[in-house]
Amino acid sequence: MSTMTQTSGAGTYLDAFSELEQRGSKQPEWLRSLRQEAFASFCDTGFPTIKDEAWRFTSVAPISQTAFSLPEAGPSGVTRAEVEPFRIDGTACSLVFINGRFAPELSDQPKLAAGVHAGSLGQALAGDNGALELQLGLKLALQNDAFSSLNTAFIEDGAYVRIARGTVLEAPIHLLFLSTGAEEPLMFHTGMRSLFPTVREAVATLIDPAKLRWVGFSHFEADECGSLNEWQTVAPDATAVCSMVGKLVSVDDFAPKNPAKGMTDGETFETGGHRFKFVHTPHVPHCWEAGMLFDETTGTLFCTDLFHQGGDVEPKTTSDVVGRARETFVEYQAGPFANYFPYTANTDKEIKRLAALKPKVLATMHGSVFEGNGEQALFDFADMLGDVLGRDAKAIAAE
Ligand SMILES: [Fe+2]
Ligand SMILES: [Fe+2]
């Protein structure tokens, strides 16, 4: 099966189907007809809803409302070491599929007993095995529903196991299907331009830096997006995700290679494995264009300068971070970094809007990432800001 990307309607299945039609030039004519018939059947029936008896208790809306795209062709980059934990002992053979595609380099295929075949469906289809025509077509006729239609319409590869009548298998055949997750990696905040080599090296421990697709950031400052141009040089598709204000006022002028995705408050987008909501928070932490991304999939709020903690702290914590942030804000008030956040009539309101997301993880930019009750931590942070900055703001105004 292919994987999902961004929110859209069934139209994206049409786009993916057209792409597959162009790719499938080596496949037999009967398969092309079968696919077209199956896709037409899907277009007729559409996805089931809870009004259909068989699906009364199961909504498929999360599937039908998510756009579909074909997996990328070419090597998956998965290594044998990564597959090893999923293998089981004592099998006759182990066939591995990555994002629905047979991966011979990751599979163990010793010679099987006479009358037993286990291999790639894609290879069998390319060989135009007459038996397959009967089997695949029969399946579709028997199960005329959206999912079997879609599976048939998008057949490219899979497992093909054939066992001659009367043959007894001494050991099981292991079919291992793995997905590589998000296909459009997103990084939130680039770090300063001078830090680019270090950040790139760190990113390379997770993904191929050239595959970075999205660069999210809260506001237009050097530590948030200073190396955006450098990223667009090493990762040709890297595109900024920021507020519409940020895009129009600064970002498209600063990094014109790939125009930014300008987001409005509450807008969502998907990257394959994650669904993000953009929250526009003008002047929180600071700057007109400020906003934050909330990863709805994991409950992570990329909360930028909120919860700023000084010193060399641990990467993650479940302990209080508001007390540490208070120390930083109090210290800053006494020096050149005073009034780090503008304390306005909207400050408390904006932070409480973030609390309403009930984040489980607060991914701060400066300090330990907090795991726990994010809603309460944001309430406490709002109180702390009012206490430190609100009081100072009133005192300054009274002078
Ligand atoms: Fe900042
Ligand atoms: Fe920052």
Q: How far is the CA of 223 from the centre of ligand 2 (A)?
A: 6
How confident is the model at residue 5, as a pLDDT?
Answer: 34
Q: How far is the CA of 284 from the centre of ligand 2 (A)?
A: 12
How confident is the model at residue 117, as a pLDDT?
Answer: 92
Q: How far is the CA of 373 from the centre of ligand 1 (A)?
A: 24
Cα dihedral across residues 7, 218, 209, 239: positive or negative: positive
Q: How far is the CA of 241 from the centre of ligand 1 (A)?
A: 16
> 104-118: per-residue pLDDT in tens?
999 999 888 889 999
Q: How far is the CA of 286 from the centre of ligand 1 (A)?
A: 6
Q: How far is the CA of 347 from the centre of ligand 1 (A)?
A: 15
**Which ligand has an atom closest to residue 221 CA?**
1
Q: How far is the CA of 335 from the centre of ligand 2 (A)?
A: 17
How confident is the model at residue 197, as a pLDDT?
Answer: 97
CA–CA gap between residue 79 and residue 86 (Å, rounded)? 12
Q: How far is the CA of 365 from the centre of ligand 2 (A)?
A: 6
The radius of gyration computed from the CA coordinates of the chain, to the nearest angstrom, equals 26
* Spans in the chain with pLDDT lower than 70: 1-12, 24-25, 62, 65-67, 129, 137-144, 181-182
Show me where the domains of the chain are located.
3-178, 186-398
**Cα dist. 30→120, 145, 357 in Å?**
19, 21, 51
Q: How far is the CA of 41 from the centre of ligand 2 (A)?
A: 52
May I ask the CATH architecture of the domain 186-398? 4-Layer Sandwich (3.60)
What 3-state DSSP class applies to 255? coil
Cα dihedral across residues 233, 234, 240, 246: positive or negative: negative
Q: How far is the CA of 86 from the centre of ligand 2 (A)?
A: 40
Q: How far is the CA of 293 from the centre of ligand 1 (A)?
A: 15
Q: How far is the CA of 103 from the centre of ligand 1 (A)?
A: 45
Q: How far is the CA of 305 from the centre of ligand 1 (A)?
A: 6
How confident is the model at residue 196, as a pLDDT?
Answer: 98
> 304-339: per-residue pLDDT in tens?
999 999 999 999 999 999 999 999 999 999 999 999
Q: How far is the CA of 224 from the centre of ligand 2 (A)?
A: 6
Ion ligand 1 residue ranges (Cβ < 5 Å): 221, 305
How confident is the model at residue 1, as a pLDDT?
Answer: 34
